[in-house]
Amino acid sequence: MMNALWHPFADMSVSAEKKVVLQHGEGCHVWDESGNEYLDATAGLWFCNVGYGRRDLIEQATQQMGRLPAYSTFDVYANRPALELANRIAALAPTAGPTGVFFTSGGSDAVDTAGKIARRYWQVAGAPERTVIISREHAYHGVNAYGTSLSGIQVNAEGWGPLVADTVRVPAHDTAALERALAEHSGRVAAFIGEPVIGAGGVRPPEDGYWARVQELCRRDDVLLIADEVISGFGRLGTWFACEHYGIEPDLLTGAKGVTSGYMPLGFVAAGDRVRSLLWDDGGVFRHGYTYSGHPVACAVGLANLELIEIESLRPRVEALAPVLAQVLDGLVGRPGVAAVRSAGLLGAVDLAGAAEDPSLPGRVVAAMRERGVLIRALAGGSLQLSPSFVISEVELARIGDTIASALDAVAAAEVGS
């Protein structure tokens, strides 16, 4: 039988033969082709915020496909869903308005676009020497060339040879280190990029005051501030965007995933007035864009998704569930196998003790949880990722906690027995 699917972030010597083929989903549950049901603790890859099986999104996609499945938004062309979704995002984004919204096909494209917009901004502003972008240790900004170059997860940045030049890493949550980097590269820094809560690098919320100080330093040195809200956008922390939660106004904001709850691939960069006005008024042709920038079906689904988040009060629901998730994770502290836990909104992580010494451990815990009917994911640093759909119940959150505990016990028992 043919077996051609090349899985992303996979060791194909394993994944070619060992697959979990998922077939359908409803709420925060998915089923595989053999009929096994799983509670999805991660909302896919941090995206399915409104849960699976939403008729409104499916109907909007179907209707838009019937009207106009696709047309580019290059040059003068537009379509109604792209116009409306851009306006909706611009109204919600915490960028200083009026804001311009540039659509992409996903989060990696959004980061690439934001990096190029930042560099272009300084070219047009008459400071072409500003080419350096500062990012942070533990950062994940996708896998395009720019995102890989900005990566603070070392294993993701290694093994490709030379990457995009002029990227600099500073320790996460260390504003003194950022200040030193700004001084070292004085007059050459185009932008600083960070996830409001570090996601794939281990779900690491900042300390109080961190983002306010970063914004202060960026403003002081006239450096553009890019917030990568690919995970944290659209309600993960209760607010529409995490920047709002931390009280900052970035110059550029990247988003994807939760904008459509993953029902269609879509990303964007929201550019506040400082960038928008310069590049719209004086930038000439911005020679960048994707075939599917402003894809009408993706944008129609995005509009329906945002509407659902609003009418079902899903953001207040996240606010109510956040302490429940924190409590579930706190209940794991002190158990054998658990080194630390962290959470912010409906984002959580469990650091597994011993993962550094035994890199196969997280995979075994994930498999043990799958056998117990819960889909979870191991992050590069050896933590378990929790990012459930906003429709998850308190009982289901408790079940995830109990399943982590029983999976850890089973993995430990298997080690003793082997």
Ligand X SMILES: Cc1ncc(COP(=O)(O)O)c(C=O)c1O
Q: For binding to ligand X (CB under 6 A), which residues are involved?
A: 45, 106-108, 111, 140-142, 195, 199-200, 228, 230-231, 256, 267
Least spacing, CB of residue 125 vs ligand X, in Å: 26
Distance of CA 344 to the CA centre of its chain: 14
Tokens representing 194 are 């960070």
Find the shortest distance in angstroms from Cβ 274 to ligand X: 22
CB of 13 to ligand X, least distance (A): 23
Residue 393 C-beta: closest distance to ligand X, Å = 25
Task: Give dist(CA 378, CA 385) in Å, integer.
Answer: 6
Calpha distance 341→256 (Å, rounded): 26
Look up tokens 């995933």; give the residue.
Answer: 257
Q: Which is nearer to ligand X, 140 or 268 (CB)?
A: 140
Backbone dihedral angles phi then psi of residue 342, each to the nearest 5 degrees: -145, 155
Closest CB to ligand X: residue number = 107
- Token pair belonging to 369: 């949880």
Nearer to ligand X, 266 or 321 (CB): 266
SS (H, E, C) 23-91: EEEEECEEEECCCCEEEECCHHHHCCCCCECCHHHHHHHHHHHHHCCCCCCCCCCCCHHHHHHHHHHHH
Cα 78 to chain centroid distance, Å, stands at 27
Comparing CB distances to ligand X, the nearer of 93 and 411 is 93
Give least dist CB 107 to ligand X, A: 2
Residue with Cβ nearer ligand X (106 or 401):
106
Rg (CA), the chain: 21
Please list, in sequence order, all residues whose beta carbon lies within 8 angstroms of the beta carbon of residue 30, skipping any fewer than 6 positions away: 22, 23, 24, 37, 38, 40, 52, 375
Q: Which is nearer to ligand X, 267 or 401 (CB)?
A: 267
CB of 72 to ligand X, least distance (A): 20
CB of 402 to ligand X, least distance (A): 27
To which residue do tokens 């240790």 refer?
137
Cβ atoms of 80 and 299 within 8 Å: the answer is no
| Residue whose CB is less far from ligand X, 237 or 407 | 237
The smaller minimum CB distance to ligand X, of residues 25 and 107, is found at 107
